[in-house]
Structure 1
Amino acid sequence: MGGHKGCSPDAPNNEPWLPGGRIEREIPRLKWGEALQRFGRFSNWIRLHPHKPAPTVRGNSRFVHPFEDRPLTVREQARLMGYPDDHVFLGGRNVQYDSIGESVPPPLAKAIALEVMKKL
């Protein structure tokens, strides 16, 4: 179980893990784009489709690797939001995932800041 191929295994927040229990047992059955959990319009534990954009990353979002039967690492999920690989997330694993999903994607934040700076 390695992290993203373009990401060094010793990159910060790139530790593979397995959730255990029912979720771990059901991950291998997921097809691309399918979710293990649905709560109204919200889906979670979605196996990413390698040829389609990822769903919206939310605070409690968890995604499954498109080809491996494991969740994305924190680093892989951070890449979905445009975080640079040297950004370090602190706290426990769930806090790290939630921090990603509750943030403004860095490329969007930069674009907004540049527009604001033009007006100053």
Structure 2
Amino acid sequence: MKEIWEKGLDAGSAAAKHNDGVGGFFLATEYDDAEYYALRARGGIIKATISADAMKALKIAGAQVRDIPYGGPGTVARVGQEFHIPTSAFGVYNELRKAGGIAYGPAR
């Protein structure tokens, strides 16, 4: 998480950490979902606050809010949704972060 906090999103890093499904960067709308994925990926949890204008720009760049796909038998139920940012939108995300449209903070 420190890398994302300090340097922003990077397609090479995302590809190296990718384990299943479509690639990109994912934000969970609920803490419990974020915790599940952080434990699975040996990652961490940060809170990202995204302004309405930044959200609009990211959606234009291909990002989307959607239901978390069902993982099949033996997976835990999800309580929220995910915000998927494809690698093609990483540049937009990083520029919005630098401009203050996306802010990070502690998850709790």
Structure-1-length-normalised TM-score: 0.23
Larger helix proportion of the pair? 2
Structure showing greater Rg = 1
Structure-2-length-normalised TM-score: 0.24
Larger strand proportion of the pair? 2
Instruction: Name which structure has the greater RCO, CA cutoff 8 Å, separation 6+.
Output: 2
